[in-house]
Amino acid sequence: MMDYFFFMLCLLSIINSKIKGYDQFFIDYMNIENTNCIRGIFVWLIIFLHKTPYGVEKNYLYKIILKFLGQKVVSMFFYYSGFGIYESIKKKGYNYIKFLPIKGIILFIKFQIILLIFLITNIYILNNKITLKRYLLSCVFISAIGNSNWFAFTIIIFYFYSYLSFIYIKNFNIGIFNITIFCVFHSIIVYKYFYPRNIVAVDTVFCFPLGYLHSLIKISFDDIVMKNDIRYFGITSLLILIYYKVFYSNNILYICEKNAIFALLIVIISMKVKINNDFLNFLGNHSYSIYLLQKIVILIVYKKQIFKNSDFIRISFELTSIFFISALFDKNIMYIEKMLKKKLNNLCYQKSISFDSKRATYNILIK
């Protein structure tokens, strides 16, 4: 049954999609509409990946695709986040860098609200006992109560890493080196202490600095890859060969490399193929909330055996409910988000005046 929903996703990806002809490429392959559609595809796949333990019929195609993808389904979220942050830094400079912590704080508050929804669902609908200790540990990402914790933790903390990487330097190119160093230390600490030996918490994080690097060298990168079809397909083939060389390795460094290459391949494919689907764009816009809220619906449907006699109706109900709840959550949280942004912006503005004055005084003394 799950195969039908994969075909549905493929159909959505094909509808209104465009393919460039010989020696032609999409110059705007990294625009928000295209990247949102790709996010939409992968957040759909993430739902299927998370449904695996909860009584789904494991069809042949379903098993092959999910075995191949694994943690690679989140690679594009980190890659596009890194690219988008550095693009904004290039355009807005310190005015954007100073407000990166605000973005992290707002996402942290959204995570806490979603966690509270999980707590209520566990106690009053699923009849699960949640201790205060477990809930408090879940608030700081160490434990979980059915929610996804490591993904939210990684997204949030990298906003703070980005702030620290760029705020005290003049040459933003050095900031990419800084964010890579943060990424290395983050992976070591998280793998050893935070989520002990849990490789899924670290094997895609290097897509962040890779996205930063893409933004830095985008003009040169585009000139090299999109010069003509011979070079384009030659580079693509080389990346595929490297990918399959490390595909069967269980070494953590090779797994990180494999996930990064996969993200790069998706980006290169988008130079030739543009997905232009409004529904996938909608999913991409709400991907953060879909990722964090999906398990609530999956757990309720599984525990209460809703539509247990029909796989098609049950999965359709789950997908519809996840998309609706996520959109509704984002619509309502938007008002809280605006209020928080206003208050935090005012606070940061006052601090930034003091910071800029110190920077100006320092520059005068140096001169």
Does residue 228 register a pLDDT over 70? Answer: yes
pLDDT at 55 over 70: no
What pLDDT sits at residue 291?
Answer: 93
| Total residue count of the chain as it appears in this document | 367
Question: pLDDT digit string (tens) for 7-50?
Answer: 888 888 888 889 999 989 999 999 999 999 999 999 999 988 88
Q: What is the pLDDT of residue 75?
A: 94
What pLDDT does residue 360 have? 41
pLDDT score for 350 = 58
Of 336, 280, 224, nearest in space to 10 by CA: 280
CA distances in angstroms from 221 to 50, 142, 208, 235, 271, listed in the order given:
35, 39, 17, 11, 12
Q: How far apart are CA 198 and CA 92, in angstroms?
A: 37
The closest alpha carbon to 162, from 144, 148, 175, 146, belongs to 175
**234 pLDDT exceeds 90?**
yes
How is the chain split into domains, by residue range? 2-366
> What is the per-residue pLDDT for 6?
78
Q: How many CB atoms lie within 10 A of CB 26?
A: 17
What pLDDT is stored for residue 199 in this prediction? 84
Q: For position 359, what pLDDT does the model report?
A: 45
* Distance in angstroms (rounded) separating the CA atoms of residues 194 and 186: 10
pLDDT, mean of residues 326-338:
87
Quick one: average pLDDT of 311-317? 88
| Mean pLDDT rounded to a whole number for the chain | 86
Phi-psi region for residue 75, left (φ > 0), alpha (ψ -120 to 50) or beta? alpha
> At residue 253, does pLDDT exceed 50?
yes
Alpha helices by DSSP H, listed for the chain, are 2-14, 32-51, 60-69, 75-92, 94-97, 100-124, 132-139, 150-166, 172-189, 207-216, 218-225, 229-245, 252-269, 278-285, 287-304, 311-366
Q: Which of the two residues, 305 and 77, has the higher pLDDT score?
A: 77
Say what the pTM is.
0.89
Residue type, 99: F
Which residues, including other chains, have CB under 8 Å from residue 228's CB and lie 6 or more apart? 23
Q: Which of 128-132, 160-164, 363-367 has the lowest mean pLDDT?
A: 363-367
CB 352 within 8 A of CB 98: yes
* Nearest 10 degrees: Cα torsion 110, 156, 71, 203: -160
Cα–Cα distance, 118 to 144 (Å, whole number): 10
